[in-house]
Amino acid sequence: MIRTCKDTDLIADLDRACFPTDTPMDRELIESCHWGVAWVGDEPVGFCGYRPGDTAGSAYLERYGVLPDHSARGTGTALLKWCARNARRHCFTSIVTYVFYHNVQSVRALVKTGYFPTHWNTDILWVEKRL
């Protein structure tokens, strides 16, 4: 189950648990996004957040992640679908983000949920989904 979340501490904890080697998101960034959290029973297992994008009508998929013990079970796909539905409810007409090519699991989830490439370079693929 995915539920809307405004608990910035929970989002920060999930971010650190999903991306232990990355620089943690700062509080201001966390507070600027709409977040959804995936739950298995009473355990949070993943998160996804978006914020207004740089162009009119677009949202930016800021971050999504799933705890390693819960990956490859459809949770990431469900989170991406949640973000798209909620961005549409907030009157956005598209959602954009980027992904590193080496993150094959994320690239597959984005394509599976309707994102298409808009531009790329040697390391990064920018994608967009029309809502």
In a domain, 13, yes or no: yes
pLDDT for 47 equals 97
Burial class (CB within 10 angstroms; exposed 0-12, middle 13-18, buried 19+) of 106: buried
What six digits make up the tokens of 39? 């739950």
In a domain, 60, yes or no: yes
In a domain, 24, yes or no: yes
Strands 116-120 and 94-100: unpaired
In a domain, 84, yes or no: yes
pLDDT for 71 equals 82
d(CA 19, CA 21) in angstroms, rounded, equals: 6
d(CA 126, CA 28) in angstroms, rounded, equals: 24
Q: Across the chain, which distance is largest between two alpha carbons, in Å?
A: 41
pLDDT for 101 equals 86
Of 31-40, 98-107, 122-131, the one with minimum mean pLDDT is: 98-107
For the domain that residue 88 is a member of, what is the CATH number? 3.40.630.30
How far lies 5's CA from each of 2, 11, 96, in Å? Answer: 9, 8, 21
36 — pLDDT class (breaks 50, 70, 90): very high
**Section 117-125 average pLDDT:** 91
pLDDT for 103 equals 86
Percent of the chain with pLDDT strictly greater than 90: 82
pLDDT for 63 equals 94
In a domain, 10, yes or no: yes
Convert the pLDDT of each residue in 51-68 to its tens digit: 999 889 999 999 999 998
Number of domains present in the structure of the chain: 1
**Section 17-46 average pLDDT:** 95
Q: How many CB atoms lie within 10 A of CB 17?
A: 16
Q: Supply the range of the domain harboring residue 23.
A: 2-97
